[in-house]
């Protein structure tokens, strides 16, 4: 009896071909990621130097499509949601459809990093000339997914199922009057039919230790709603405000009152909520009380019921304050994205893969008040969206780490290989996790 007990674990170790195969797969992904690393960095620099705004990613999508065709992808679909590219890679074994997503658009920011490959691009946005900069790391997301495409196309025989590579335009929002991003990809039906994904994975760079993978089950990133307010009063001379109705001071009251909604009226112990007015415009001269003032802002929430309640309170507060001043207020609230919600069963299933890919550099993280249009895919398709730390080494920084969307934002290219490995491993291991880890 004793002998049998001792022998059993030993036999089990020997007779565990799955684990052995996994290790080899992991090693092969790592060595292929090593080989492609310098290319990923070169692509990222090229895209960084030639950034394109939302729905204008012409050069970037050309670069992507050419790469996927050179890798002999089974299908390369162009002009998805304007400038998007979807590549189809069929594996050697039967299995599910798995989608991997990267975003390609840059931001209207004048770059001030001083990098040799810094963007000098300027373009028109509406009536204004703006700089264009990859300040949110979408250059790196695109380059990493191109790297994953190269790694996995060389490992077709090991792939169970079909992998969709979604290179998405316009994550940062579209110019007025245009449609775009994940919403348009779904609206066009690009993910319907035979290639309906069973699961979707996405990654985003993050101000954390370079190469660390950060993840969180359930709610991860906030729902975002865009808020526009127009306050209309009665114009008059600035010296005689009693002759008119002042929309400037009414707007100031409104802005203050909006801040009191999350802090005084909502149960913030349940979930956080943020309101920010980022834009205010009105008036033409110091001595004229103008007719109207326009404001725009963003509302971030995590809980759907709290969100509904908050939106109703915003409307009521704005309209009531305007009425108390004898002014009129129009409130327009448009949903940008729901919560990025990581399916808890999927996270549980894929945790061992994340651990294998990132080793000790895997960390659970807190809530992020930022939002992502990746959330739209997650409404219908179980998904996992994780973050990749890209902080520069301290010696190479000119001060504190600059945030994404800042003109001095820089990322550590040494971390990109980890992004390629993690994404490749998720795609390769997902099909087998259904049986192995049980909770489909």
Residues lying near Zn ion in the complex (CB under 5 A): 136
Q: How far is the CB of 263 from Zn ion (least distance, A)?
A: 26
Nearest in space to 144 (alpha carbons), one of 39, 72, 57: 39
Closest CB to Zn ion among residues 50, 138: 138
Closest CB to Zn ion among residues 172, 429: 172
Query: Can you say whether the dihedral through the CA atoms of 411, 365, 186, 345 is positive or negative?
Result: positive
Query: If DSSP codes are grouped into helix, strand and coil, which group holds residue 260?
Result: helix
Closest CB to Zn ion among residues 136, 420: 136
CA distance 263 to 273: 9
For residue 434, the tally of other CB atoms under 10 A from its CB is 16
Q: How far is the CB of 124 from Zn ion (least distance, A)?
A: 21
Closest CB to Zn ion among residues 135, 289: 135
Backbone angles phi, psi at 162, to 5 degrees: -125, 135
DSSP state of 177: T
Structure tokens at 120: 């000098």
Closest CB to Zn ion among residues 139, 343: 139
Closest CB to Zn ion among residues 71, 296: 296
CA distance 173 to 183: 10
Q: How far is the CB of 288 from Zn ion (least distance, A)?
A: 37
Q: How far is the CB of 52 from Zn ion (least distance, A)?
A: 14
Find the helix or strand (DSSP H, E) in which 280 lies.
strand 273-282
CA distance 207 to 365: 12
The residue whose Cβ lies closest to Zn ion is 136
Query: If DSSP codes are grouped into helix, strand and coil, which group holds residue 388?
Result: strand
Q: How far is the CB of 145 from Zn ion (least distance, A)?
A: 14
Q: How far is the CB of 227 from Zn ion (least distance, A)?
A: 19
* Angle between helix 17-49 and 344-358 (nearest 10): 90
């Amino acid at each position: 009896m004793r002998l049998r007990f001792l022998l059993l674990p030993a036999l089990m170790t020997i007779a565990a071909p799955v684990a052995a195969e996994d290790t080899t797969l992991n090693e092969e992904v790592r060595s292929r990621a090593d080989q492609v690393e310098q290319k990923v960095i070169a692509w990222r620099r090229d895209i960084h130097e030639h950034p394109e705004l939302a729905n204008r990613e012409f050069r970037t999508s050309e670069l992507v499509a050419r790469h996927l065709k050179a890798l002999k992808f089974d299908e390369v679909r162009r002009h998805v949601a304007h400038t998007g590219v979807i590549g189809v890679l069929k594996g050697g074994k039967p299995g599910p459809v798995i989608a991997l997503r990267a975003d390609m658009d840059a931001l209207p920011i004048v770059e001030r990093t001083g990098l040799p490959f810094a963007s000098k691009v300027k373009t028109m946005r509406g009536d204004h000339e703006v700089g264009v900069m990859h300040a949110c790391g979408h250059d790196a997301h695109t380059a990493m997914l191109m790297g994953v495409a190269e790694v996995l196309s060389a490992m077709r025989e090991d792939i169970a199922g079909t992998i969709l590579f979604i290179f998405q335009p316009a994550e940062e929002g579209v110019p007025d009057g245009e449609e775009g991003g994940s919403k348009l990809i779904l609206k066009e039906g690009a993910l319907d039919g035979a290639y309906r994904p069973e699961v979707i994975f996405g990654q985003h760079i993050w101000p954390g230790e370079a190469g660390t993978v950060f993840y969180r089950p359930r709610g991860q990133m906030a729902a975002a709603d865009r808020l526009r307010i127009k306050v209309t009063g009665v114009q008059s001379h600035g010296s005689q405000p009693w002759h008119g109705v002042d929309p400037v001071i009414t707007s100031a009251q409104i802005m203050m009152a909006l801040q009191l909604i999350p802090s005084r009226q909502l149960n913030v112990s349940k979930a956080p909520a943020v309101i920010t007015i980022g834009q205010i415009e009105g008036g033409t001269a110091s001595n004229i009380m103008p007719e109207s003032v326009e404001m725009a802002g963003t509302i971030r929430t995590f809980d759907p019921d709290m969100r509904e309640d908050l939106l109703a309170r915003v409307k009521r507060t704005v309209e009531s304050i305007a009425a108390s001043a004898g002014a009129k207020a129009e409130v327009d609230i448009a949903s940008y994205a729901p919560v990025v919600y990581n399916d808890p069963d999927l996270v549980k299933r894929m945790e061992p893969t994340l651990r294998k890919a990132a080793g000790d550099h895997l960390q659970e993280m807190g809530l992020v008040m930022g939002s992502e249009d990746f959330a739209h895919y997650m409404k219908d398709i179980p998904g996992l969206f994780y973050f990749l730390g890209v902080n520069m080494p301290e010696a190479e920084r000119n001060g504190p780490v600059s945030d994404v969307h800042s003109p001095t934002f820089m990322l550590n290219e040494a971390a990109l290989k980890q992004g390629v490995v993690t994404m490749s491993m998720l795609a390769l291991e997902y099909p087998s996790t259904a049986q192995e880890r049980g909770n489909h």
